[in-house]
A = this chain, B = another copy of it.
């Protein structure tokens, strides 16, 4: 029996609709949700992405402000600019688009964003609060994975889970989330010796390796829930460019119980979660900050 396919676009639409509602409710309380996006230079892909951010914000009623900074901005310039956004109480969320210019320490600039305005949830303090199970804002891709899990009705407690790929954006924060919800997690990556032996017992398989077609039918327990976080741009045999995940969808969807497609799975959910996190950021700043060193 072929797997059920998770409709990421529909799930994203439902999250957006809840988020739009929350924006209205906050407005009624006098809280204005605003997201300030920063782009340095004119990287084509980043400009396109920034434009789509604007559309997404408009859809849910978030006030989007775009700041294009010169390509020759220094680390000091960027840190000063972000510090001003941190101090401005009308700014409730900050999104720093990458890449930054050569010679700029990306992490040092990114981590300068106030944890309460860090809508991507990547500040080290935000990671630490996820680790301690009291998040302020958490990494959005891992939140999207957890949202899909909830949507499918899957209870993580005691679940056998395997996560393939342990990058800082998706795999590793998902590992933390699943451990907090008491799944038994096997964390795999490029140094794992017999990958299929480690993934075949998993009722939940999350793949965030960045390797097209890495996961084949042989890696998957029959009936498992397979969540594919991979977004890989490849050129097919017919010369066409397309986007594929890390999972060989055609053969794995014959084995899995439920599967997320690429595109149309984790991707749109992550974008919707980012908007939701921007709203959460505004709400939490208003509710009062907890002390952070």
The reply to whether A128 and B132 contact each other, CB–CB distance below 8 Å, is no
Chain B residues, Cβ within 8 Å of A284: none
Interface flag for A189 (CB, 8 Å) = yes
Chain B CB within 10 Å, residue with most, of A126, A131, A158 = A131
The segment from A3-11, A105-113, A232-240, A246-254 that touches chain B is: A105-113
Chain B residues, Cβ within 8 Å of A54: none
- Tell me the A179-201 residues at the B interface (CB within 8 Å): 179, 182-193, 198
Chain B residues, Cβ within 8 Å of A108: 290-291
Knowing A125-B293, A127-B128, A292-B111, the reply to whether A184 touches B193 (Cβ < 8 A) is: yes
Contact-residue bracket for chain A:
35 or more
Knowing A179-B175, A182-B189, A192-B184, the reply to whether A127 touches B131 (Cβ < 8 A) is: yes
Chain B residues, Cβ within 8 Å of A176: 172
27 contacts between A and B (CB under 8 A): A79-B291, A107-B134, A111-B291, A111-B292, A111-B293, A112-B293, A115-B293, A124-B125, A124-B127, A124-B128, A124-B129, A124-B131, A124-B132, A124-B292, A126-B128, A127-B128, A127-B131, A128-B128, A131-B131, A131-B168, A158-B191, A160-B193, A175-B175, A182-B191, A184-B191, A184-B193, A186-B187
Interface residues of A (CB under 8 A from B): 79, 86, 107-108, 111-115, 118, 123-129, 131-132, 134, 157-158, 160, 166, 168, 172, 175-176, 179, 182-193, 198, 290-293
